[in-house]
């Protein structure tokens, strides 16, 4: 089994900029945790620093996953790939910087259009989010086109990036078009599901976004497990089955949230 240190090393070999950005965000979570312990202010019913912490960890996982996947590209340092990596890292840092700034001010970053500047920044965050999913999906397409997609792990990594970016992006775009992520629920994150914070009183659009985006990790993990327990002839069908199931779960949880039904009561 690959250790966390080995996984980070592989990610750095795949794309040093993205891996370095991911490690930086993980390290940034340490002072964020400290701020959470020292600052008792709340926003939407929870500590103001919980949101920056979640995004630091989530974006770190995203960047490190994409960096690792780039190991599967024959030409990892071409101009296009470097440009995509720069755009992705830049968008991630912009998102975190603004979310942390707003947390320090005790104000919302998402859905905040209370002033022209806040509205502009929310629009720019939307552009940044689109950049994150488009670049990840683009890299996935490059892996499928130029990598050895006859290998299950290569096929899974490329497909995971494409599908995760597509369905996760669709769920995220729908969520951002609304005035909040709650549907028929109390507009607070207090009392939400442990760790995730998803509403237990009504629909929460974040659920589908989460499941969609994490296809990026789920499909390579499926390939890794399949290589140990399945014959060669069944490994790709298993990856496709999990991909189809992941899309269905994403769409089902999106429909559930739109109907105002909690993911788990």
Q: How many residues does the chain have?
A: 265
Contact at 8 Å (CB) between 216 and 165? Answer: yes
- Sign of dihedral through CA atoms 212, 213, 214, 216? positive
Q: Assign residue 65 a region: left if phi > 0, alpha if psi is -120 to 50, beta otherwise? A: alpha
pLDDT value of position 3: 63
15 vs 173: CA distance, rounded Å? 28
Between CA 24 and CA 22 the distance in angstroms is 5
Bridge partners, 204 (sequence order): 182
Q: What is the Cβ-side half-sphere exposure of residue 256, based on CA atoms within 13 angstroms?
A: 21
Tens of each residue's pLDDT in the chain, 265 residues = 556 677 777 777 888 999 999 999 999 999 999 999 999 999 999 999 999 999 999 999 999 999 999 999 887 668 899 999 999 999 999 999 999 999 999 999 999 999 999 999 999 999 999 999 999 999 999 999 999 999 999 999 999 999 999 999 999 999 999 989 999 988 889 999 998 999 999 999 999 999 999 999 999 999 999 999 999 999 999 999 999 999 999 999 999 999 999 998 6
Encode burial over 148-187: b for 16+ CB neighbours within 10 A, e otherwise. Answer: ebeebbbbbbbbbbbbbbbbbbbbbeebbeeeebbbebee
Instruction: Specify the pTM.
Output: 0.92
User: How high is the pLDDT of residue 74?
Assistant: 84
User: How confident is the model over 114-150, as pLDDT tens digits?
Assistant: 999 999 999 999 999 999 999 999 999 999 999 999 9
Rounded Cα–Cα distance for residues 170 and 168 (Å)? 5
pLDDT of 43: 93
């Amino acid at each position: 089994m690959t250790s966390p240190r080995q996984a980070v090393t592989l990610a750095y070999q795949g794309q040093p900029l993205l891996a370095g950005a991911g490690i930086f965000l993980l390290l940034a979570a340490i002072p964020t945790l400290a701020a959470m312990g020292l600052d008792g202010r709340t926003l939407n019913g929870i500590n103001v620093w919980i949101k920056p912490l979640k995004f630091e960890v989530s974006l770190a996982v995203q960047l490190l996953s994409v960096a690792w996947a780039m190991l599967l590209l024959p030409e990892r340092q071409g101009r296009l790939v470097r440009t995509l990596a720069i755009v992705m890292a830049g968008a991630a840092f912009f998102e975190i910087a603004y979310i942390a700034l707003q947390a320090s001010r005790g104000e919302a970053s998402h859905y905040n259009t209370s002033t022209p500047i806040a509205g502009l920044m929310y629009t720019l965050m939307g552009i940044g989010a689109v950049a994150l999913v488009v670049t990840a999906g683009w890299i996935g397409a490059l892996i499928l086109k130029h990598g050895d997609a006859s290998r299950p792990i290569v096929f899974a990594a490329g497909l995971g990036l494409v599908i995760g970016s597509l369905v996760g992006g669709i769920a995220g775009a729908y969520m951002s078009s609304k005035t909040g992520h709650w549907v028929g629920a109390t507009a607070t994150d207090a009392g939400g599901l442990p760790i995730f914070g998803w509403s237990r009183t009504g629909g929460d659009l974040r659920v589908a976004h989460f499941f969609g985006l994490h296809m990026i990790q789920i499909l390579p993990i499926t390939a890794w497990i399949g290589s140990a327990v399945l014959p060669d002839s069944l490994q790709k069908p298993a990856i496709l089955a999990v991909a189809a199931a992941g899309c269905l779960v994403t769409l089902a949880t999106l429909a559930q949230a739109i109907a105002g039904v909690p993911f788990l009561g």
